[in-house]
Structure 1
Amino acid sequence: MAANYCRGYLRNHMDMENGQARSHPAQSPHRTLVFGVLALLALLQVASTVTILLHLTGYLREVDMSSVQPAEEVHSEPIIADALRDPQIKERWRKRDATPVAHLSVRTPIDFSSTDPTVVTTVHWDELRSTLIKFKYHNGRLLMEEQGLYYVYAKTCFRYAADHVSNRQDVSNAQLIQYIYHEINSQSKFGPVLLSKSGGTLQWSHRNYHMYCVQQGRSVRLRKSDSLFVNVSNSWLLDPEPEGTYFGAFKMSN
């Protein structure tokens, strides 16, 4: 009887151990699931941290802007093209970043009524055949739109042809002088400042064709709304060809 009890005890003890051994595999899937969830949460935490850092550095903003830029360009090009068909808008775009430049040719026909050699006349220029970028023109004067250091130049040609009826004047002692003036807007009450003059006295005959040209230039610092103009003596002898008589300026620096 004692032997039977011992065998029963041993059997029960072995069954319990076998039962516990069989129960271990049932717990391993739960542990795997737990570890998987923890690993996924860790990856999400890392991803969110990296995303925040990229936003703080501006990298993602640059990527987003670069990704939409082609679409913006596709839509904006037709709008710009349509706008530039307007002559006024096109002119503003052309002058927006351009260097100030002016070149004027003599205006024809020239008034030859005054032949007094002592009279000095302001030359008038052909605005329709001119180049005016960040300059304006009014009554023989170039008006500054932008201050800076400019180079100013002028060329005037005088000619006399004996076969021209209106030219039958005394040219035996013709004084042909060119003057370039700077009119300061803030000091207009003091009158214009003479920048330079050049020329000479010519002794021409009445039976031949004569021509004489004066060309000069210099740098000058100009302010906005200042003006430049050219005066000449014996303006009735001016050559009306635009290649011979012209006036201009261009900006060299600030």
Structure 2
Amino acid sequence: MAANDYRAYLRNHIDMEEAPARAPHTGSTHRALIFGTLAVMALLQVASSVAILLHLTGYLREVDLASPQQSPNEEMHSETLIGDQMNSSTKDKTKKVPSAHLPIKTPIDLLPNENGLTQIAWDGMKAENLKRMKYKDNRIIVDSPGYYYVYAKTCFRYHEIHSSEKVNISNIELGQYIYHEKHSRSEPPTVLAKSSGTPEWNIKKYNKYCMEQGRGVRLEKDDRIYVKVSNAQLLDPAVEETYFGCFKISK
């Protein structure tokens, strides 16, 4: 009986000594789980914040999975091809547009005067000055019928030093006239545009006056247009100052 009591006493004493050792082990396990959970939650919070920031700044974009995406090089190549094709079409279209731009022929060849007006001779020998149009007898000849814009600019000048004779320019009248001559020639030429005036020159050693005009008109095949001026002896021979031309704007 006494032996059994002693064994029980020893067993209880051993259990009491082991109990404090097990308690700390259980508490540290709970703390590790709590810290691990908090760490995972913190990482998720950081990842979520980064994702929102990237989305707001535009780094994350919606992707259309239904259609394949082109690389930047492919997109640039496509845009280049489209641009080249458009430029090529524009250049081809421009080459086909009937047009003429003729500078004054130098030295100036004064034609016979009719009613105080002289027809101007132009430089129509250069191929680049005429596109699908002809030039003959100081006239531009239409090859493709349609609506055209016709223009002309003439400059007059008087340089006393280079003049062989004195000319009274105090009340001189200068005029520019654009004529339309129909291909049938069944009726007299009509005046498409007219500009005239008496400039108030200061009677200096050098005087200059320019006139420029233009208008749209319907021209048929083989119709002709030409320019006449008054006081042609005062025409400025500079090719960039005095010129005549037209271009087709529609059918």
- TM-score w.r.t. length of structure 1: 0.58
SS in 2 for 1:159: strand
Distance in 2 (alpha carbons) for counterparts of 1:96 and 1:213: 30
CA distance in 1, matches of 2:115, 2:187: 23
Return the offset for 1:206: 4.8
Change over 3 Å in CA distance of 1:118–1:191 after alignment to 2: closer
Runs (5+) with no aligned partner, structure 1: 1-93
User: Structure 2 counterpart of 1:250, which letter?
Assistant: F
* Residues 198 and 167 of structure 1, relative CA distance in 2, 3 Å threshold: farther
Q: Which of 214, 227, 230 is the aligned partner of 1:230?
A: 227
**1:143 & 1:240 partners in 2: Cα distance?**
24
Q: Counterpart in 1 of 2:157?
A: 159
Aligned pair in 2 of structure 1 residues 153, 167: CA closer, same or farther (>3 Å)?
A: farther
Whichever residue aligns with residue 136 of structure 1, its letter is: K
* Structure 1 residue 202: Cα displacement: 2.4
Q: Within 5 Å, which residues of 2 pair with 1:190-229?
A: 190-204=187-201, 206-229=203-226
Classify 1:134/1:225 alpha carbon distance in 2 versus 1 (closer, same or farther; 3 Å). Answer: same
CA gap of 1:152–1:112, structure 2 versus 1, over 3 A, is: closer
> Equivalent residue of 1:163, what SS?
helix
- Aligned pairs (5 A) from 1:123-134: 123-129=120-126, 131-134=129-132
From the superposition, tell whether residues 112 and 98 of structure 1 become closer, same or farther in structure 2 (CA, over 3 Å). closer
Q: CA RMSD for the aligned pairs? A: 2.5
1:128 deviation in Å? 2.5
* 1:136 counterpart residue number: 134
The 4+ residue runs of structure 1 with deviation greater than 6 A are: 94-97
- Seen in structure 2, the aligned counterparts of structure 1 residues 111 and 143 have a Cα distance that, compared at 3 Å, is closer
Aligned mates of 1:110, 1:225 — CA distance in 2: 26
8 Å contact from structure 2 (residues 102, 245) kept in 1:
yes
Give the distance between the partners of 1:189 and 1:252, measured in 2 at CA. 26
**Aligned mates of 2:177, 2:100 — CA distance in 1:** 18
On the 8 A contact 2:110/2:118 being kept in 1, the answer is no
Q: Percent of counterpart pairs with the same letter?
A: 47
2:173 to 163, 172, 175: 175
User: Which structure carries more helix by proportion?
Assistant: 1
The Cα shift of 1:127 comes to 1.4
Larger displacement relative to structure 2 (130-139 or 210-219):
130-139
Q: Helix, strand or coil for the counterpart of 1:236?
A: helix
Tell me the amino acid that sits aligned with residue 166 of structure 1.
S
CA-to-aligned-CA distance 1:55-79 (integer Å, 9 cap, x gap): xxxxxxxxxxxxxxxxxxxxxxxxx
The Cα of 1:112 is off from its aligned counterpart by 6.0
Distance 2:94 2:156 in 1: 38
Deviates more, 1:126-135 or 1:201-210: 201-210
In the aligned structure 1, how far is the partner of 2:236 from the partner of 2:175? 14
Out of 148, 157, 160, the residue aligned to residue 150 of structure 1 is 148
- Tell me the CA shift for residue 167 of structure 1: 5.2
Matched letter for residue 97 of structure 2? T
Alignment coverage as a number of residue pairs: 159
Answer yes or no: is the 8 Å Cα contact 1:174–1:204 preserved in 2: no
* Structure 2 unaligned spans of 5+: 1-91
* Conservation of the 8 A alpha-carbon contact between 2:117 and 2:229: yes
- CA gap of 1:104–1:95, structure 2 versus 1, over 3 A, is farther
Deviation for aligned residue 1:205: 5.3
Is the 8 Å Cα contact of residues 100 and 146 (structure 1) preserved in structure 2? yes
